């Protein structure tokens, strides 16, 4: 029975990964249909054939739901309970993402980020080193909203003309951006961190609190790479032409509110400080920040509703995926099936191979990013890794940090991430050229971040 349950679990996850990689359907549909059909099938089998699934989950795997039932059966009542648990485990993460998108979206509409970027452009020097460092800074600021697509849309139009006039390669711009955005994507409202938090049942802000030192190291690496690439550009003859870059300022939008800039900035910095202090739920902070920014900039209901509608689409799409993932978590994790899967692997693989899993995952995450999309990596691979390593006494938080750090660094060189393709289109760099020029830089930064995390005691590979 154990091997049968493990077979159903692995088969379901492999099917989900296949559907995601081949783009047969969107993640929400894959999670709900595959998980739901598998769970209903198991329930019908246990009810009608009395396979003893409930008894196995009670006696060997000590699932609390079955503890008070004398002859437990994996029936629809049990399935309903596990699904509710799964949905509950992702609710705070979904709320966090919705209000983070609305908060940063309104700040962007108010012109806060554009004003900061324009200021940096105005006072930067016309030299290759300055431009490369400026690319890192602008990428960091642009990616505060956690959206790769919007970051490319902001940074590339502002910086590409400067690169071209100074005789700098466009691939350098994309490499610096890929590293900078990858490091910034560790934020608690970034997609990978949210997904990892969902899998281990933690708050995204709790993961990020541990990630802050690693993120700081990653940003230093981004500046280091920018410095090295700037030297290469100079060696190739870049920077010999003096240009004026003032006319490359980003234009004001219809809903820009320059008069409220400093007040908006105070609210932004206040929310970020409270997130770091970690004394209040992160989703509440973004709910509060969203209300303040809306009141400060758009008191008229008609304009406020129009802007909320504009950013609700992307917020709801991600929230839909997270709630669908809650079904997957309820069916396979809360029910104990994931423990069965881990148990089977523990029986098959030798101990020396098992203890190397965290290290293997950390080293291989960047190459795997070229094949696995974010959803398939975190919802298909991470649950199995967490299940196995938890049985070996390794903290799931450590595994989450390893996978988030390593995968994030590679996010924006991955051809299965739509934002990467957008960036390549805007810059005129082919995806093949972008990967060939950026891959080893990205992998190197990933390994440095993981090594520093291990030396600081944040990450435990064994």
pLDDT above 70 for 249:
no
Task: Please name which of 344, 350, 348, 386 lies closest in space to residue 5, comparing C-alpha atoms.
Answer: 344
The b-or-e profile of 245-274 (16+ CB within 10 A means b, else e) is beebebeeeebbbeebeeebeebbeebeeb
Q: How confident is the model at residue 126 (pLDDT cuts 50, 70, 90)?
A: low
Q: How confident is the model at residue 447 (pLDDT cuts 50, 70, 90)?
A: very high
pTM of the full predicted structure?
0.77
Nearest 5°: CA angle at 402, between 7 and 327?
Answer: 45
Q: Which two tokens stand for residue 208?
A: 């990020």
Contact 148, 192 (CB under 8 A): no
**How far is the C-alpha of 24 from the C-alpha of 26, rounded, in Å?**
7
Question: By percentage, how much of the chain surpasses pLDDT 90?
Answer: 30
Total Cβ atoms within 10 A of residue 375: 23
Mind listing the pLDDT tens digit for each residue in 396-427?
999 999 999 988 888 899 887 778 888 888 88
Mean pLDDT of the chain: 86
22 burial class (0-12, 13-18, 19+ CB within 10 angstroms)?
Answer: exposed
Can you give the pLDDT at residue 124? Answer: 62
User: 121 versus 421: which is more confidently predicted?
Assistant: 421
Give φ, ψ of 352 to 5 degrees. -65, -30
Average the pLDDT over 325-349 and give the result.
Answer: 84
Q: Please name the residues in contact with 389: beta carbons below 8 A apart, sequence gap of 6 or more.
A: 357, 358, 396, 399
Nearest 5°: CA angle at 148, between 395 and 273?
Answer: 60
Mind listing the pLDDT tens digit for each residue in 209-224?
889 999 999 999 999 9
Can you give the pLDDT at residue 251? Answer: 61
Task: Please name which of 449, 457, 444, 371 lies closest in space to residue 175, comparing C-alpha atoms.
Answer: 444
**How far is the C-alpha of 367 from the C-alpha of 50, rounded, in Å?**
44
**How far is the C-alpha of 209 from the C-alpha of 207, rounded, in Å?**
5
User: 147 versus 266: which is more confidently predicted?
Assistant: 266
Can you give the pLDDT at residue 448? Answer: 95
Which whole-number Å values give the CA distances from 34 to 23, 48, 325, in the listed order?
Answer: 15, 21, 11
Largest interatomic CA distance in the chain = 82
3-state secondary structure labels for all residues of the chain: CHHHHHHHHHHHHHHHHHHHHCCCCCHHHHHHHHHHHHHHHHHHHHHHHCCCHHHHHHHCCCCHHHHCCCCCCCCHHHHHHHHHHHHHHHHHHHHHHHHHHHHHHHHHHCCHHHHHHHHHHHHCCCCHHHHHHHHHHHHHHHHHHCCHHHHHHHHHHHHHHHHHHCCCCHHHHHHHHHHHHHHHCCCCCCHHHHHHHHHHCCCHHHHHHHHHHHHHHHHHHHHHHHHHHHHHHHHCCCCCCCCCCHHHCCCCCCCCCHHHHHHHHHHHHHHHHHHHHCCCCHHHHHHHHHHHHHHHHCCCHHHHHHHHHHHHHHHHHHHHHHHHHHHHHHHHHHCCHHHHHHHHHHHHCCHHHHHCHHHHHHHHHHHHHCCCCHHHHHHHHHHHHHHHHHHCCCCHHHHHHHHHHHHHHCHHHCCCCHHHHHHHHHHCCCHHHHHHHHHHHHHHHHHHHHHHHHHCCCCCCC
Mind listing the pLDDT tens digit for each residue in 53-83?
988 888 887 888 888 888 899 999 999 999 9
Q: How many residues does the chain have?
A: 462
Q: Which two tokens stand for residue 443?
A: 């992998």
The b-or-e profile of 132-153 (16+ CB within 10 A means b, else e) is bbbbbbbbbbbbbbbbbbbbbb
pLDDT above 70 for 248:
no
Rg (CA), the chain: 24
431 burial class (0-12, 13-18, 19+ CB within 10 angstroms)?
Answer: middle
Can you give the pLDDT at residue 38? Answer: 93
**How far is the C-alpha of 27 from the C-alpha of 321, rounded, in Å?**
6
Q: How confident is the model at residue 244 (pLDDT cuts 50, 70, 90)?
A: low
**How far is the C-alpha of 378 from the C-alpha of 363, rounded, in Å?**
16
Q: Which two tokens stand for residue 102?
A: 């609305």
């Amino acid at each position: 029975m154990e091997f049968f349950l493990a077979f159903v679990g692995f088969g379901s996850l492999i099917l989900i990964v296949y559907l995601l990689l081949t783009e047969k359907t969107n993640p929400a549909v894959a999670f709900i249909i595959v998980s739901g059909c598998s769970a209903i099938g198991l329930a019908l089998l246990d009810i009608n054939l009395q396979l003893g699934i409930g008894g196995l989950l009670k006696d060997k795997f000590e699932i609390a739901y079955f503890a008070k039932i004398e002859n437990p059966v994996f029936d629809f009542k049990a399935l309903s309970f596990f699904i509710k648990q799964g949905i509950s485990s992702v609710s705070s993460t979904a709320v966090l993402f919705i209000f983070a998108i609305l908060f940063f979206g309104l700040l962007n509409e108010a012109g806060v980020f554009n004003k900061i970027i324009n200021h940096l452009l105005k006072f930067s020097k016309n030299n290759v080193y300055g431009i490369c460092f400026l690319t890192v800074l602008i990428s960091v600021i642009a990616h505060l909203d956690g959206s790769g697509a919007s970051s490319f849309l902001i940074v590339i139009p502002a910086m590409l003309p400067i690169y071209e006039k100074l005789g700098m390669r466009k691939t350098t711009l994309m490499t610096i951006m890929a590293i900078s955005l990858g490091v910034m994507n560790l934020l608690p409202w970034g997609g990978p961190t949210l997904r990892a938090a969902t899998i281990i049942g933690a708050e995204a802000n709790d993961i990020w609190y541990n990630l802050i030192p690693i993120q700081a190291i990653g940003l230093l690496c981004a500046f280091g790479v920018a410095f090295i690439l700037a030297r290469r550009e100079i060696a190739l003859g870049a920077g010999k032409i003096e240009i004026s870059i003032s006319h490359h300022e980003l234009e004001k939008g219809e809903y820009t509110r320059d008069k409220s800039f400093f007040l908006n900035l105070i609210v932004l910095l206040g929310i970020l400080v409270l997130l770091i202090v970690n004394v209040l739920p992160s989703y509440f902070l973004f709910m509060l920040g969203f209300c303040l920014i809306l009141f400060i900039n758009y008191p008229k209901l008609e304009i406020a509703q129009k802007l909320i509608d504009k950013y609700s689409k992307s917020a709801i799409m991600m929230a839909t995926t997270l709630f669908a993932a809650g079904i997957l978590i309820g069916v396979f994790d809360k029910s104990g099936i994931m423990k069965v899967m881990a148990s089977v692997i523990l029986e098959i693989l030798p101990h020396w191979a098992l203890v190397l899993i965290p290290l293997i995952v950390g080293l291989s995450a960047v190459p795997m990013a070229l094949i696995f999309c974010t959803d398939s990596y975190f919802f298909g691979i991470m649950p199995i890794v967490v299940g196995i390593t938890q049985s070996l006494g390794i903290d799931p938080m450590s595994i989450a940090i390893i996978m988030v750090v390593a995968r994030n660094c590679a996010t924006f060189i991955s051809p299965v991430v739509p934002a990467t393709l957008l960036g390549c289109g805007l810059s005129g760099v082919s995806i093949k050229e972008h990967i060939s020029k950026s891959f080893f830089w990205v992998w190197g930064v990933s390994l440095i971040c993981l090594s520093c995390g291990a030396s600081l005691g944040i990450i435990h590979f064994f």
